[in-house]
């Protein structure tokens, strides 16, 4: 049967939170945010409409070579910022830079595009990238953690971590920690923007292996301490479900951003924000994943595109990039905000529960310290006590 496991898990995830999946994603999302932007606003419209100028300031976009990152980078370029194209593939990044330069209008003045290599499957590469940024004299205004992979078969990175865990979450954690002081040093304030996913609300994902095992296996109790089933340590049946691992990594981004905000950014001009971009099955993130055949089938060859449009899940890429750009640029974005459709939403599930912050914080530092010599800056910042769920 055509990737029945993925089809099943996708739909179970949708069904597990019907309010979230249908009510808020359907076309009745007509609200506008405080700046007048909503569901269908594009990244460029937001950059132009807000009119914020970042001339002479750095904006880092990981995974700027394609998809959401590419469109966000173009919008930032139009603000006059020096956009750091944080990509692993130089040729692809340079092609994207040409596209941005030729397609940007920037009536008020373009920025600069600078390629700096980063491979998020290597913590050493993350450290080298951060060192290069620390040497730059311009203030850092925005760090957008966007690069990612999705539903990949079980593989380990060179550092020995499950790939989705490291590329989507751990390397972004390390990159952020290495750049915290540069973010704080910007006298005009700065933003950390984590590009998450609707799947963050699906943890724990009711999983079905879709392989040799055809029964429901689940992924155990929700645990971000590293002591439970996440991150997966083997690809054996019932120990690794690609969508579950993806969902955990996207939830971890949100949990970490909130914990960092409480521990380190409180009282500063830096705020951490998270974003759910929507869905566009044409990006390479879908083609690379194990769920790709299923998702391509669902999105391309059936009537599902119509349904997706009805539920307002599917978006064009410049719209996909908009909420991240809005979070990075709007004066109305506030500490801890979570954006979808350019509107503020309550973070659902474990991603919105501060109790997961401290175990994830400790576990992440331990993972990095086990591979890279030296301290993780600010990892010893104490937890904030008596946090209530937002």
Segment contacting ligand NAP by CB under 6 A, of 141-149, 182-190, 337-345, 351-359: 141-149
Segment contacting ligand NAP by CB under 6 A, of 8-16, 144-152, 173-181, 370-378: 144-152
Quote the CA–CA distance of 150 and 172 in Å, as a whole number: 15
Indicate whether 117 belongs to the interface with ligand NAP (CB under 6 A): no
Segment contacting ligand NAP by CB under 6 A, of 114-122, 136-144, 211-219, 229-237: 114-122
Whether omega before 231 lies within 30 degrees of 0, making that bond cis, reads yes
Structure-token pair, residue 210: 């879709």
Which of positions 259-288 make contact with ligand NAP (CB under 6 A)? 277, 279-280, 283-285
Binding-residue total with ligand NAP (CB under 6 A): 28
Chain centroid to Cα 93, Å, comes to: 19
Burial of 278 (0-12, 13-18, 19+ CB in 10 A): buried
Q: Which is nearer to ligand NAP, 71 or 262 (CB)?
A: 71
* From candidates 121, 164, 245, 364, binder to ligand NAP by CB under 6 A: 121
Instruction: Check if 246 is active-site.
Output: yes
Structure-token pair, residue 49: 């409409």
Q: Which is nearer to ligand NAP, 133 or 358 (CB)?
A: 133
Indicate whether 292 belongs to the interface with ligand NAP (CB under 6 A): no
Write down the catalytic residue from 246, 248, 326, 338: 246
Site track for ligand NAP across 350-369, x = CB under 6 A: --------------------
Burial of 341 (0-12, 13-18, 19+ CB in 10 A): buried
Indicate whether 127 belongs to the interface with ligand NAP (CB under 6 A): no
Which of positions 42-81 make contact with ligand NAP (CB under 6 A)? 63, 65-69
Q: Write phi, then psi, for 243 (nearest 5 degrees).
A: -70, -35
> Do 369 and 177 contact (CB within 8 A), yes or no?
no
Output the smallest distance, CB 66 to ligand NAP, in A. 4
Q: Which is nearer to ligand NAP, 10 or 262 (CB)?
A: 10
Q: Is the dihedral of CA 202, 229, 386, 258 positive or negative?
A: negative
Indicate whether 291 belongs to the interface with ligand NAP (CB under 6 A): no
Indicate whether 323 belongs to the interface with ligand NAP (CB under 6 A): no
Indicate whether 120 belongs to the interface with ligand NAP (CB under 6 A): yes
In sequence order, what E strands does 1-93 have?
Answer: 58-62, 82-87
> Do 146 and 175 contact (CB within 8 A), yes or no?
no
Q: Which is nearer to ligand NAP, 63 or 352 (CB)?
A: 63
Indicate whether 119 belongs to the interface with ligand NAP (CB under 6 A): yes
Residue 130 exposure: Cα atoms within 13 Å on the Cβ side? 23
Indicate whether 89 belongs to the interface with ligand NAP (CB under 6 A): yes
Structure-token pair, residue 107: 């009536």
Which residues are CB-neighbours of 380 under 8 A, at least 6 positions away? none
* From candidates 147, 201, 252, 254, binder to ligand NAP by CB under 6 A: 147
Indicate whether 349 belongs to the interface with ligand NAP (CB under 6 A): no
Quote the CA–CA distance of 343 and 312 in Å, as a whole number: 14
Which of positions 161-200 make contact with ligand NAP (CB under 6 A)? 167, 195, 197
Indicate whether 342 belongs to the interface with ligand NAP (CB under 6 A): no
Indicate whether 203 belongs to the interface with ligand NAP (CB under 6 A): no
- Alpha helices by DSSP H, listed for 152-234, are 163-164, 171-184
Q: Which is nearer to ligand NAP, 21 or 66 (CB)?
A: 66
Output the smallest distance, CB 187 to ligand NAP, in A. 30
Burial of 105 (0-12, 13-18, 19+ CB in 10 A): exposed
Burial of 156 (0-12, 13-18, 19+ CB in 10 A): middle
The residue ranges that bind ligand NAP (CB under 6 A) are: 63, 65-69, 87-89, 92, 118-121, 146-150, 167, 195, 197, 277, 279-280, 283-285
Q: Which residues are catalytic?
A: 246
């Amino acid at each position: 049967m055509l990737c029945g496991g993925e089809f099943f898990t996708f739909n179970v995830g949708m069904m597990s939170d019907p309010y979230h999946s249908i009510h808020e994603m359907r076309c009745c999302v007509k609200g506008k945010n405080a700046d007048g932007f909503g569901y269908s606003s594009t990244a460029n419209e937001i950059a132009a409409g807000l009119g914020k100028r970042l001339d002479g300031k750095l904006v880092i976009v990981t995974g700027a070579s394609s998809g959401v990152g590419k469109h966000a980078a173009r919008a930032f370029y139009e603000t006059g910022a020096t956009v750091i194209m944080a990509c692993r593939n130089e040729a692809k990044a340079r092609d994207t830079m040409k596209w941005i330069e030729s397609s940007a209008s920037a009536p008020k003045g373009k920025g600069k595009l600078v390629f700096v290599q980063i491979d998020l499957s290597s913590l050493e590469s993350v450290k080298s990238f951060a060192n290069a940024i620390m040497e730059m004299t311009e203030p850092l205004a925005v760090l957008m953690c966007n690069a990612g992979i999705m539903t990949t078969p079980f593989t380990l990175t060179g550092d020995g971590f499950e790939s989705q865990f490291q590329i989507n979450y751990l390397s972004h954690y390390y990159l952020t920690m290495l750049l915290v002081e540069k973010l704080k040093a910007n006298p005009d304030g700065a933003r950390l923007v984590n590009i998450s996913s609707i799947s963050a609300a699906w943890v724990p994902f009711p999983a079905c292996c879709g392989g040799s095992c055809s029964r429901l296996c689940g992924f155990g109790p929700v645990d971000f301490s590293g002591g439970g089933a996440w991150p997966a340590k083997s690809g054996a049946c019932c120990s690794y479900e690609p969508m579950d691992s993806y969902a955990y990594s996207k939830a971890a981004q949100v949990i970490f951003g909130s914990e960092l905000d409480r521990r380190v950014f409180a009282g500063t001009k830096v705020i951490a924000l998270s974003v759910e971009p929507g869905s566009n099955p044409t990006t390479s993130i879908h083609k690379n994943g194990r769920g790709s055949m299923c998702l391509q089938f669902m999105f391309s060859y059936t009537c599902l595109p119509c349904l997706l449009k009805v539920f307002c899940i599917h978006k064009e890429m410049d719209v996909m990039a908009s909420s991240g750009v809005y979070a990075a640029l709007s004066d109305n974005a506030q500490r801890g905000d979570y954006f979808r459709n350019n509107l503020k939403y309550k973070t659902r599930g474990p991603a919105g529960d501060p109790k997961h912050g401290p175990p994830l914080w400790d576990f992440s530092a331990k993972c990095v310290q086990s591979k890279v010599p030296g301290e993780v800056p600010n990892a010893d910042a104490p937890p904030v006590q008596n946090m209530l769920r937002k």
